[in-house]
Amino acid sequence: MSFATPLFLWYFMPAVLLAVLATPRSWRNGVVAVASLVFYAAGAGATTLLLLGCMAVNYLAGPALEVRREEPWRRRRPLLIAVVGIDLAVLVVWKYAGFATQQFANLAKVFGADLAVTHLALPIGISFYTFHHISYVVDIYRGERTAQRNPVSFIAYIAMFPQLVAGPIVRYREISDQLPQQRTHRLDDIAAGFPRFALGLCKKVIVADSIAPLVDACFATHGADLTFGTAWLGAIGYTLQIYFDFSGYSDMAIGLGRMLGFRLPENFARPYSSVTVTEFWRRWHMSLSRWFRDYVYIPLGGNRRGVARTYRNLGIVFVLTGFWHGANWTFLIWGLYHGGLLVLERRMRWDRTPAARGKRLARRALTMVLVVFGWVLFRSADIGEALNLFGHMLVPDFDGVSRTVASAATNQRVVLLLLALVIVVLPTHPVTGPFIESSRSRGAMAVRIAVMTVGVVYASILVAAGTFSPFLYYQF
């Protein structure tokens, strides 16, 4: 089930909100837990059992991982390693077994052998709920939070349907104080959360889904039909599509969470306004960046043990970031590409010079171009396709675009693509989502009214017409 479908918008979401408002406070986590499992089962089917099994292991381990004066950390550490190992093993087997066996099969063919390739259906949201589980047990082990004794509240945290299948990644420390059964929940939360949800719906349905066919046509173009214009149109189009799709999902998730009485962390802060790639990663998918910082980068030593180890730690983090997104060499190279850019920025320190600080517009343009090239790697089916696109992007010609791309470039799609481009090049502040959710200014009120009237009506018409495509991050 997706947020941008008639079943969710007109039946599931209203029913859950009414149930939360109508039940006593002590029952509300139960409503969220049940609704979340139903939501997940509707899309995941039998693999829901995998989610339930992982939740059982981490829930049962929680109390044993708590800090106790009479028990040294060395006695708890083997249990932590075992539980995190189980979580990672589930992720590796279900997400990477096919990729790994395919590589072994390719190598075996060189020597004339024939090996079988494993094919497993990827459970929806496995990358996200695995990181939630690891956050839970590590935060308890570190003594930052106590274990959750109430199984219903634990299920509500892990399986909470707004963020279960595509984030944001909610660390346990960020939400543990919101899980008590007696937390407050008022109509004000729905009034504040719905505009945020509506903004995300407009981003996804009106912008991302509208330009998706144009992007698909560009990336499907090969051979003599692939031109300089087609390559750049596809690259820029995908740069806009993935932002409006994923940030739209995050806005919808944060808005839904607020309507249910939870405050979920922000996930985007106008990333395309960054003047360095380092700043880009502080603004793009922020919950993922924070997770890797707190549970990988800092435990490895961060930047405290010399320059060489800092670069090594950054490399490890971005290799994992790349592979976290998918089992494909393109994701690995994409991660190495961004990690290399961060190392280069640290090494050169050019952004800290007076001359560099005075060239913000040029630096922002350069960062945008570097990010666009990265998205070509991310979107391409394989390395060969990415290299082919890079070759055409770097060699100008005057051949225009192919007939297929021209037919996909309808007036509506071109206008929306240009509008999206204008939006992303606007100044850094304000960040629209938090602005319309919390601000009481006239500007925020005007945006809220526009989104909840014209925007929602138009998006609803598109949803009813069946123009929906799945959220891009569902595949991760």
Active site residues: 325
Q: Are 404 and 360 in contact (CB under 8 A)?
A: no
CA distances from 262 to 12, 185, 190 (A): 18, 9, 11
Q: Are 456 and 199 in contact (CB under 8 A)?
A: no
Look at the chain and count its residues. 476
To which H or E segment does residue 447 belong?
helix 442-450
| 3-class secondary-structure state, position 71 | strand
Q: Which residue is it, tokens 């996200």?
A: 128
Count of beta carbons in the 10 Å neighbourhood of residue 409: 19
Percent composition of the chain: helix, strand, coil (DSSP 3-state, to 5): 75, 0, 25
Q: Are 97 and 118 in contact (CB under 8 A)?
A: yes
Long-range contacts of 67-75 (CB under 8 A, 24+ apart): 67/141, 67/142, 67/143, 73/141
Q: How far apart are CA 429 and CA 379, in angstroms?
A: 28
To which H or E segment does residue 345 belong?
helix 329-348
Q: How far apart are CA 476 and CA 386, in angstroms?
A: 20
Q: Are 320 and 327 in contact (CB under 8 A)?
A: no
- Residue 379 C-alpha from the chain's centroid: 15
Burial class (CB in 10 A: 0-12, 13-18, 19+), 30: middle
Burial class (CB in 10 A: 0-12, 13-18, 19+), 46: exposed
Q: How far apart are CA 24 and CA 20, in angstroms?
A: 8
Q: How far apart are CA 165 and CA 123, in angstroms?
A: 9
